[in-house]
Every structure is written in structure tokens, then in C-alpha cells.
């Protein structure tokens, strides 16, 4: 039996999440409408998962997430937020969450995240995960000399496209792609295209596909 605590101060949202979760087999759903109530419930209950809205009145946000993790270390935390920006997901994971889904997500995405976390994994909404990968790449000092077009070509190389296929996708001449590739090699101090592909994969550019 999985016991899940849903923490959200909006009655309609909370009811919708609870209904989704209650349709699962072997699932008991508890509710809390505030950070204080969530801490009270979490302190005295055996929980497998906490579905947490960070935007609560009074006690809310990342501090609540950290406190819930301390009072009930056996419960994984899935943040279910009105914010869909990667920075919120990154901060939530740093604070101890095991997943992040925005309220823009489809119900199936929320349920998939719940299943993934209960199975021991980490779950981040796909669009947000994509944005987080882009942020990581753009903050990579080694790749700073590259332009957006350079990064796009590297991304397509990492996906396994040939230069001809890249030219077709970008709507440019083959020679343009070849020349750009030569400049990328100069910027990164690389001699072989195969080395560029390894760099693109190791730097997470393949995750941007």
C-alpha cells in the first residue's frame, strides 16, 4: 500500500489530484491545505510520497520542502507547481525533491511522475527537463565560444545526422555547414569530426533533441 500526501491550498486542484491518485490500486491518499498542516501530517504518518505545491500561504516554498524531508525522510517529494521554469525545478531538486511537474502538465504526466518516483527514480516534466539541459549547455564554459548555430549543428551531429542531412534541416548549403563545422573545430581546438561528436554527446547536447 502506497500512502501519498497531497499538499495544496486550492481545493479544486487538491481534489483533482486526489481523485487521480485514488484511482490507482493500493493507494491511500492523505491531504493537507497548508505547510503547517503538511508538517503535522508528515511527522506522524508513514508516507511513501508527498505531492507538494510550493506556493502556499505563510509557510511554503523550498524551506517547507526541506522541513518535510527532515521530518519524514522515508517519503519522496514530488513538486507540483504553477511555475514551469527550469530554475524552479533545479532549486527544488537541490532542496531534496525527487521530481518536478508543472500544473500545465497533462494528468498522465503527473501519474507517470508518481510511478517513476515510487519506483525509486527521478521524474521531471519533459519540457522542463529539456529547458534544464539547455541551461546546462549554455552555462558550460568550454562551449561559450560557440554561437547558437554552432550548437545547433553540434546537436544534430550528436543525433547522428550527416552534414547533408543537417544542411537540409537547416535550409542552408552543404558548404555552409562544412565551413561552420571547420570553425567549430578551431574554436574548440578539435581536429576530427568524431571528436566533436563525442564532445557533443558528453556535454549533453544530445539531450536537447
Q: Hey, where are the domains in the chain?
A: 2-125, 140-208
Query: Tell me, what's the pLDDT at 75?
Result: 98
pLDDT score for 154? 87
pLDDT for 53:
95
- ∠ CA 116-30-71, nearest 5°, is 80
> Which CATH architecture is the domain 140-208 placed in?
Orthogonal Bundle (1.10)
pLDDT of residue 137: 65
pLDDT for the residue 8: 97
Distance CA 177, CA 150 (A): 9
CB 104 within 8 A of CB 79: no
Q: In what order do the strands lie in the sheet with 2-7?
A: 27-32, 2-7, 49-52, 76-81, 99-102, 123-124
Q: Are 118 and 110 in contact (CB under 8 A)?
A: no
Q: Is the model's pTM score more than 0.75?
A: no
The dihedrals phi and psi of 59, each to the nearest 5 degrees, come to: -85, 110
pLDDT in tens, the chain (209 residues): 999 999 999 999 999 999 999 988 899 999 999 999 999 999 989 999 999 998 888 788 888 999 999 999 999 999 999 888 787 888 899 899 999 999 999 999 999 999 999 999 999 998 888 777 767 766 677 788 888 788 888 888 888 889 999 999 888 999 999 999 999 999 989 889 988 888 888 777 765 55
Contacts for 146 with CB less than 8 Å, ≥ 6 apart: 154, 184, 187, 188
Q: What is residue 209's predicted lDDT score, i.e. its pLDDT?
A: 52
Query: How much is the pLDDT for 158?
Result: 85
3-state helix, strand, coil in the chain (%, to 5): 55, 15, 30
From 3.40.50.2300, 3.30.450.20, 3.30.470.20, 3.40.30.10, which CATH number describes the 2-125 domain? 3.40.50.2300
Whether 176 contacts 165, CB under 8 Å: no
Same CATH fold assignment for domains 2-125 and 140-208 = no
Specify the pLDDT at position 138: 61
Amino acid at each position: 500500500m502506497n500512502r501519498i500526501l497531497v499538499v495544496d491550498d486550492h481545493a479544486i486542484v487538491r481534489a483533482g489530484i486526489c481523485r487521480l491518485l485514488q484511482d490507482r490500486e493500493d493507494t491511500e491518499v492523505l491531504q493537507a491545505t497548508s505547510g503547517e498542516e503538511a508538517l503535522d501530517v508528515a511527522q506522524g504518518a508513514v508516507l511513501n510520497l508527498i505531492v507538494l505545491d510550493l506556493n502556499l500561504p505563510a509557510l511554503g516554498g523550498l524551506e517547507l520542502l526541506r522541513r518535510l524531508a527532515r521530518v519524514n525522510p522515508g517519503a519522496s517529494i514530488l513538486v507540483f507547481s504553477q511555475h514551469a521554469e527550469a530554475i524552479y525545478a533545479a532549486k527544488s531538486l537541490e532542496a531534496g525533491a525527487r521530481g518536478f511537474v508543472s500544473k500545465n502538465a497533462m494528468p498522465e504526466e503527473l501519474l507517470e511522475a508518481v510511478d517513476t518516483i515510487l519506483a525509486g527514480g527521478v521524474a521531471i516534466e519533459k519540457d522542463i527537463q529539456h529547458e534544464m539541459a539547455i541551461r546546462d549547455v549554455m552555462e558550460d564554459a568550454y562551449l561559450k565560444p560557440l554561437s547558437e548555430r554552432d550548437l545547433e549543428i553540434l546537436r544534430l551531429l550528436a543525433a547522428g545526422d550527416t552534414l547533408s542531412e543537417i544542411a537540409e534541416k537547416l535550409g542552408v548549403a552543404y558548404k555552409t555547414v562544412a565551413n561552420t563545422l571547420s570553425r567549430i573545430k578551431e574554436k574548440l581546438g578539435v581536429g576530427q569530426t568524431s571528436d566533436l561528436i563525442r564532445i557533443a554527446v558528453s556535454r549533453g547536447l544530445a539531450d536537447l533533441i
